[in-house]
Amino acid sequence: MTSFQKQVYSLVSKVPAGKVTTYKLLGQALDTHAYQAIGQALKVNPNAPEVPCHRVVKSNGDLGGYSGKLNHSKKKELLVKEGVKIKRNQVVNLSESLFVFKYPK
């Protein structure tokens, strides 16, 4: 496990239930632009329950691939149950459900 992944997992695990974050925000929190690398870190996520990767969406509110192309549509319903409104693989009130990291900088 790389230190980069640790940072990603650490941040994602900080996202409270009913909230979501974006790859871009994570990038900001990590002070990097490795959005894709973040996605990859999550896809090889060894700590599935610890790291709620289903709470990470794309910057435009789209769910991305973790529950879209992949057969994980159940996670979408889980988000809805947690309070996040989802409409056709996309977060409805992104601004409302968006969790912003208060990172030092």
Partner DNA sequence: TACATGACTATCC
Partner DNA sequence: GGGATAGCCATGT
User: According to the binding rule CB under 7 A, does residue 58 interact with DNA?
Assistant: yes
Please, are residues 89 and 76 in contact by the beta-carbon 8 Å criterion?
Answer: yes
Q: Measured from the CB of residue 9, what is the shortest distance to DNA in angstroms?
A: 11
User: According to the binding rule CB under 7 A, does residue 28 interact with DNA?
Assistant: no
What is the C-alpha separation between 32 and 71, in angstroms, rounded?
29
What is the C-alpha separation between 2 and 7, in angstroms, rounded?
9
For residue 85 the two structure tokens come to: 């409104």
Catalytic residue among 29, 51, 53, 84, which? Answer: 53
User: According to the binding rule CB under 7 A, does residue 43 interact with DNA?
Assistant: yes
User: According to the binding rule CB under 7 A, does residue 34 interact with DNA?
Assistant: yes
Single out the residue of 35, 78, 82, 98 in contact with DNA (rule: CB under 7 A): 35
Backbone angles phi, psi at 11, to 5 degrees: -70, -50
Q: Which stretch binds DNA (CB under 7 A): 61-69, 77-85, 96-104?
A: 61-69
Please, are residues 48 and 82 in contact by the beta-carbon 8 Å criterion?
Answer: no
Q: Does 53 qualify as catalytic in the annotation?
A: yes
Sign of CA dihedral 35, 41, 44, 50: negative
Binding site for DNA (CB under 7 A): 2, 4-5, 22-24, 32-45, 53-54, 56, 58-60, 62, 64-66, 69
Known catalytic residues are 53
